[in-house]
Structure 1
Amino acid sequence: MSDKEIICPLPGVFYRSSAPEQPFYKQAGDTLSPGDVIGLVEVMKSFHEIKAEVSGVIDDFLLDNETPVNAGQPIVRLK
């Protein structure tokens, strides 16, 4: 089991791409470096980038696209 997760810093709605017709920022199996954008959280019509703070390989996204998220909730599990 992994001990690395990317945690959402604020509540809102999680999006895996910048727009509905755009590809997801990252997929399971992708390599992350610090600063890579993995998604957006919409809070009161403002969008905030969620960036990786650690390196790793994405094992799984723990939330689907367009899913409500709470502050402190894990978004991504890393290998």
Structure 2
Amino acid sequence: MQHYDYRPRGVCPMKISFDLEGDTVHNVSFLGGCNGNLQAISRVVEGMTVAQIEGYFKGISCGGKGTSCSDQLAAAVRAAYEQGK
């Protein structure tokens, strides 16, 4: 299992941290942002694959920003997966 820290762009959280085991995501946490919503997202995605997270969350926009915390999570796990190949 490999640990990753990702600096999201265009959203409130300053950091997204998670572990990646193959293509399966574990232990997601966000630093900053809407604490309750981000705790919920972290619980929902526990044990999901990179592709599943992308399927649910890629392309979601918040406040007209063109991205969101969940969209940034999808980008983060994909980048980590590609880096670890």
TM-score when normalising by structure 2: 0.30
Higher-strand-fraction structure: 1
More helix by percentage: 2
